[in-house]
Chain A
Amino acid sequence: DVVMTQSPLSLPVSLGQPASISCRSSQSLVYSDGNTYLSWFQQRPGQSPRRLIYKVSNRDSGVPDRFSGSGSGTDFTLKISRVVAEDVGVYYCMQGTHLITFGQGTRLEIK
């Protein structure tokens, strides 16, 4: 089974400051079709998860451009260029290359 490891698990950030979350997989996420099925999800308090990024770096419709994803192989990063209040919540990485596995989640809070 593929294990997804996120860090940090807690991320206090001041408003207007950048934030970065790391996600590492226990094996390569490059699929046989050449794509890398790594997604990022945001779960605001009391809400369902919402996908932000798919295939490493593609933003979903309606996602602000302050969110960006990068990485390759086994190492991936979600960056928020300037944190705003509505970004508070838990962020999960997910691999969809070898069935589906989620990271443990990173709780972003305003400092």
Chain B
Amino acid sequence: EVQVVESGGGLVKPGESLRLSCAASGFSFNTYSMNWVRQAPGKGLEWVSSISRDSNYIYYADSVKGRFTISRDNAKNSLYLQMNSLRAEDTAVYYCARDGQLDYWGQGTLVTVSS
């Protein structure tokens, strides 16, 4: 069974950093691109970042470019999102999703940025 499980969310102050993780199982992780998508409380879905299966191609939304870094470790079947210089507007549930067409999603991890 395909599973992706996010972790690492929490409450941080503006300007602080946080690293999210996504553990994948049930499929050949190294053959799929992966993505982060977020959803602010009561709002719609916003794509954050994508990474190709070999990490050669990486893309970011303008809203996070220069502050967030996506990475993956195919040996550990894991996806990461390093989030620096966090802002209140980064408060959201962050989802990990498989493939360029987002066929499987995790349950999400909540990031709250507040002083």
Contact = CB atoms under 8 A, between A and B. Distances in A.
Interface residues of B, number: 18
A101 interface: yes
12 contacts: A39-B101, A48-B95, A48-B107, A49-B37, A49-B45, A49-B105, A50-B105, A51-B103, A54-B101, A54-B103, A94-B102, A100-B100
Interface of A: 37, 39, 41, 43, 48-51, 54-55, 60, 90, 92, 94, 96, 99-105
A43 B37 CA distance: 14
Contact of B45 (A54, A55, A92, A96): A92
5 shortest A-B CB distances, which residue pairs?
A: A100-B47, A102-B45, A105-B44, A48-B105, A96-B101
Contacts of B108: 48
A54 B103 CA distance: 9
A25 to B, nearest CB: 14
